Structure 1
Amino acid sequence: MEPSKIGSSPERVVLLHDYSEALGGASYLVQVLIGELRRRGIATTFIAGDSGARFDRSDVEFLPLHGTALLERSKLSALTCGLYNHRAYAQTRDWIARNDTPGTVYHLHGWSKILTPGIFAALRKVGDRLILHGHDYFNGCPNGAFFDYPRDRDCTLTPLGSACLKSRCDKTSHAQKIWRVGREVLRRGFQQCGAHAARLLMIHPGQEAQFRLSGWTAERLRAVRNPVSPLSADRVPAEANRGIVFIGRISAEKGADLAARAALRSNLPITFVGEGSEIEQVRTCNPDAIFLGRQDRAGVARALSSARVAVMPSRWSEPFGLVALEAVASGVPVVVSDRALVAPEIAQAGFGLAVDTADLDTFAGVLTALHRDNHAVEAMSRAGHADYRSLCNSEETWADEVVSQYRQVLTEASH
Structure 2
Amino acid sequence: MRCVIVSDFGAVNGGAAKVAIESARGLAEAGVDVVFACAIGPVSPRLDHPRIDVQRFEGEEVWKVGGRIAAARQGIWNAAAHAFLTALLKRQPPGTIVHLHQWTKAFSPAAIAAAAESRLPVAITLHDYFSFCPTGGYFDFKAGRPCARRPMSGACLAANCDRESYGHKLVRVARQWRSDTALRALRSPLFIHVSALAARVAEPFLPTPSRHLVLANMIETTRLSPADVAANRPALFLGRFTQEKGVLVAAAAARAADIPLRLVGDGEAAIRAEIARLCPAAQFTGWVDAAAVVEAVRAARCVVAPSLWYETGPMTVAETMAQGVPTIVSRTIGAAEAVAHGRNGFVVTAGDTADLTESLKQIRRDDVVGPMGRAAYDDYWAKPQSVDRHVAGLQEAYGRLLAGA
Q: What's the TM-score, normalizing by structure 2? A: 0.91
2:96 to 88, 104, 113: 104
Residues 61-96 of structure 1: per-residue CA shift (max 9 Å, x gap): 112223222344443332222112223222111212
**Alpha carbons of structure 1 residues 151 and 349: separation in structure 2 relative to 1, 3 Å:** same
**Runs of 5+ consecutive residues of structure 2 not aligned to the other structure:** none
Letter aligned with residue 303 of structure 2: A
Q: Residues 11 and 41 of structure 2 are in contact (CA less than 8 Å); yes or no, is this contact kept in structure 1?
A: no
Q: Residues 25 and 49 of structure 2 are in contact (CA less than 8 Å); yes or no, is this contact kept in structure 1?
A: no
2:118 to 112, 122, 126: 126
1:240 to 231, 234, 243: 231
Q: Residues 317 and 335 of structure 2 are in contact (CA less than 8 Å); yes or no, is this contact kept in structure 1?
A: no
Aligned position for 2:244: 253
Aligned position for 1:263: 254
Letter aligned with residue 222 of structure 1: L
Equivalences for 1:134-283 in 2 at 5 Å?
134-191=126-183, 193=184, 195-196=186-187, 198-217=189-208, 219-230=210-221, 233-278=224-269, 280-281=272-273, 282-283=275-276
Secondary structure in structure 2 of the residue aligned to 1:318 = coil
**Alpha carbons of structure 1 residues 406 and 176: separation in structure 2 relative to 1, 3 Å:** same
Aligned position for 1:329: 322
The worse-fitting range, judged by mean Cα deviation, of 14-23 and 252-261 is: 252-261
**Alpha carbons of structure 1 residues 235 and 194: separation in structure 2 relative to 1, 3 Å:** farther
Equivalences for 1:3-402 in 2 at 5 Å?
10=1, 12-55=2-45, 57-59=48-50, 60-73=52-65, 74-97=67-90, 99-191=91-183, 193=184, 195-196=186-187, 198-217=189-208, 219-230=210-221, 233-278=224-269, 280-281=272-273, 282-343=275-336, 345-348=338-341, 350-371=343-364, 373-388=365-380, 393-402=385-394
Letter aligned with residue 261 of structure 2: I
Q: Residues 16 and 110 of structure 1 are in contact (CA less than 8 Å); yes or no, is this contact kept in structure 2?
A: yes
Shift in Å, 1:401 = 0.8
Residues 262-317 of structure 1: per-residue CA shift (max 9 Å, x gap): 22333332222224334633445444333323333211111112100101011101
Residues 356-400 of structure 1: per-residue CA shift (max 9 Å, x gap): 2522233233213311x1121111111111112567632211111
Higher relative contact order (CA 8 A, sep 6+): 1
Residues 172-207 of structure 1: per-residue CA shift (max 9 Å, x gap): 22222221111111012223x365452010111222
Secondary structure in structure 1 of the residue aligned to 2:5 = strand
**Alpha carbons of structure 1 residues 391 and 24: separation in structure 2 relative to 1, 3 Å:** farther
The worse-fitting range, judged by mean Cα deviation, of 250-259 and 382-391 is: 382-391
Letter aligned with residue 93 of structure 1: T
Letter aligned with residue 33 of structure 1: S
Shift in Å, 1:14 = 0.8
Residues 93-138 of structure 1: per-residue CA shift (max 9 Å, x gap): 12122x2111211100011222211212222223441110011111
**Alpha carbons of structure 1 residues 355 and 26: separation in structure 2 relative to 1, 3 Å:** same
Letter aligned with residue 220 of structure 1: R
Letter aligned with residue 17 of structure 1: S
Distance 1:379 1:127 in 2: 53
Q: Which runs of 4+ in 1 moved over 6 A?
A: none
The worse-fitting range, judged by mean Cα deviation, of 31-40 and 386-395 is: 386-395
Distance 2:316 2:324 in 1: 13
Shift in Å, 1:24 = 1.4
Residues 327-380 of structure 1: per-residue CA shift (max 9 Å, x gap): 012111111112223325413482210112522233233213311x11211111
Distance 2:185 2:311 in 1: 23
**Alpha carbons of structure 1 residues 235 and 389: separation in structure 2 relative to 1, 3 Å:** closer
Structure 1 vs Structure 2: percent identity of aligned residues? 27
Distance 1:127 1:214 in 2: 23
Give the root-mean-square deviation of aligned CA atoms: 2.3
**Alpha carbons of structure 1 residues 357 and 139: separation in structure 2 relative to 1, 3 Å:** closer
**How many residues of Structure 1 are paired with residues of Structure 2 in the alignment?**
400
Distance 1:88 1:364 in 2: 48
Distance 1:134 1:296 in 2: 26
Distance 2:71 2:282 in 1: 34
Secondary structure in structure 2 of the residue aligned to 1:16 = strand
**Alpha carbons of structure 1 residues 23 and 400: separation in structure 2 relative to 1, 3 Å:** same
Q: Residues 121 and 187 of structure 2 are in contact (CA less than 8 Å); yes or no, is this contact kept in structure 1?
A: no
Distance 1:299 1:227 in 2: 20
